[in-house]
Amino acid sequence: MALSSLISEILQRPTIGGVLAELVTLMAPVWVAVVVGVLVGWAWKPKWANLGKDLLDGSKESSPVSPSCSSSGTSSMPSFSSFKLQLPACIPWISDDGAGKENLSVPPTTVSESSSSVRGKGISSLVMDDDLEYLCRLVEEKDGGPAWIQMMDRSTPTMGYQAWRRDPESGPPQYRSRTVFEDATPELARDFFWDDEFRLKWDDMLIHASTLEECPTTGTIMVHWVRKFPFFCSDREYVIGRRIWESGRSYYCVTKGVPCSSVPRRNKPRRVDLYYSSWCVRAVESKRRDGQLTACEVLLFHYEDMGIPWEIAKLGVRQGMWGAVKKIDPGLRAYQRERAAGAPLSRCAFMAQINTKVSADYLRSLESMTAETSETENGSSSQKQLGRNIPRLVIVGGAIALACTLDRGLMTKALIFGVARRFAKMGRRL
């Protein structure tokens, strides 16, 4: 009623000029709102607003030359490659069409270096203390990632196995597993998973393994793997940096994709750049509950981008995980028998025994540093959020004040309040 009476009053003006003047006066707040909206929208434009521009700019530039090997070293599920848990062989209907599906966000410990810079610093720089710190956070479940969802809980008379998965906001799915081997030492399990020469006997997916470089001081090694995929997918190759830290009888083993120049990139086998696989090996009590630390626990963290659509890869892992995992225990027992019989160590197993020793206090200091960093980040995030809220309050308050000073009925006030609410919603989404 108020709106119709307002329009009727304007139309009853004696002259056309009077009607136009009244309409201009009525529409002035609308134009003010438009101008304010443009300015505020420009100031608060979301990150995706520049996406098209960035893509156009990127297309005008020459694409960067990718290094022969790219580094990807954040730990997130020890290779189900290591434990055969990538399981492409279990997915006979997978093709290479999913390659490059998404841009991946690289984890905090990932190092991107050119091959020349790595060569200048030495092989020991491929796997550093920040990788140990990240692995410790994963072991203690303090890495700040999404919650783990349990996938499996199976056992045999000599092995227990549990597995979890989580899906980060970007990047491939991540896996965590806990395997307990009865009557096995941490040292045996450490050497077993490091020994590529013996792995060729029990891991039927691994068709080539060679050592490229090694550091006799830190035990860091760079290895080249080729893994067999189904016939309609090209095989995958990996250039992996490895290093082990020792604390008491606990071993923190890091493996991750690293940069290199000695292995040229080819179409086939296809290079897997984003790769991280790390585990913590330590003695635990046997399931016999006899109070003796005669069992060995392996906490494994792994993810990689094999160039397969992630949803398909998850389905394959889910279907084939246990079939692959239960073959590990026979391999470990065969290795145990060979070692007991006095079989000579392979070069990889020998390098597995060169560890960087750290104290339990040092590991605890890493955890405390992680906690402090997390608190600092949370504080900074709160301050940023407060900073974002202040301009929103100013705009909304200004809009309300503008509406209250106008005397042209409900239409103008409704419009101004509507614009203010829209700005508030836009601010909450940013």
Per-residue model confidence (pLDDT) at position 259:
86
CA angle (339 as vertex; 334, 343 as ends), nearest 5: 105
Distances (CA, A) of 394 to 199, 203, 208, 368: 65, 64, 65, 40
Residue at 58 is within a domain: no
* pLDDT of 49: 47
Question: By the 8 A CB rule, do 6 and 22 touch?
Answer: no
8 found inside a domain: no
- In this prediction, residue 317 carries a pLDDT of 84
Question: Which DSSP state fits 183?
Answer: T
Q: Is residue 128 part of a domain?
A: yes
CA separation for the pair 124, 118 (Å, rounded): 9
- Write down which residue in 328, 358, 388 finishes a domain: 358
| Mean local confidence (pLDDT), 342-368 | 89
In a domain, 275, yes or no: yes
Least confident piece of the model among 90-94, 112-116, 193-197, 256-260: 90-94
Q: Quick one: pLDDT band at residue 267, thresholds 50, 70, 90?
A: confident
Residues 323 and 344 occupy one common structural domain: yes
Same domain? 228 vs 346: yes
Q: Terminal CA-to-CA distance of the chain, rounded, Å?
A: 38
* Burial status of residue 422 (CB atoms within 10 A of its CB: 0-12, 13-18, 19 or more): middle
What contacts 4, CB < 8 A, 6 or more positions away? none
* pLDDT of amino acid 7: 61
Report the pLDDT averaged over residues 170-192: 95
201 and 252 assigned to the same domain: yes
Please count the structural domains in the chain: 2
Helix, strand, coil percentages for the chain (3-state, nearest 5) = 45, 20, 35
Residues 323 and 379 in one domain: no
Q: What is the pLDDT of residues 132-164, one digit of tens each?
A: 999 999 999 988 889 999 999 999 999 999 999
The reported pLDDT for the residue numbered 250 is 94
One domain, residues 333 and 403? no
Are 395 and 369 in the same domain? yes
- Confirm whether 50 is domain-assigned: no
In-domain check, residue 429: yes
Q: Which of 309, 326, 358 is the last residue of a domain?
A: 358
Count Cα atoms within 13 angstroms, Cβ side, for 424.
Answer: 13
Contact 162, 151 (CB under 8 A): no
pLDDT at 291: 85
In tens, the pLDDT along 276-330 reads 999 999 999 998 888 889 999 999 999 999 888 888 888 888 888 898 898 899 9
Mean pLDDT is highest, among 20-29, 399-408, 418-427, for 20-29
Co-location of 222 and 339 in the same domain: yes
Please tell me whether residues 167 and 287 are part of one structural domain.
yes
Do 112 and 184 share a domain, yes or no? yes
Residues 215-230: what's their mean pLDDT?
92
- For the chain, the farthest-separated pair of C-alpha atoms sits apart, in whole angstroms, at 114
Here the tokens at position 205 are: 């997916």
Secondary structure (3-state) at 251? strand
Question: Does one domain contain both 231 and 364?
Answer: no
**Final residue of a structural domain among 333, 358, 383:** 358
Q: Classify burial at 291, counting beta carbons within 10 Å of its beta carbon; exposed 0-12, middle 13-18, buried 19 or more.
A: exposed
User: Best-predicted range by mean pLDDT among 112-126, 197-211, 384-398, 411-425?
Assistant: 197-211
CA-based nearest residue to 266, from 230, 228, 231, 226: 226
217 and 363 assigned to the same domain:
no
Residue 333 maps to a domain: yes
The first and second tokens of residue 302, run together, are 């792994």
Residue 419 domain-assigned?
yes
Number of residues assigned to the chain: 430
The reply to whether the predicted model has a pTM over 0.85 is no
Please give the residue range of the domain that contains residue 255. Answer: 88-358
Are residues 429 and 334 part of one domain?
no
- Per-residue model confidence as pLDDT tens digits over 38-67: 555 545 545 444 444 444 444 433 333 333
Calpha distance 411→183 (Å, rounded): 81
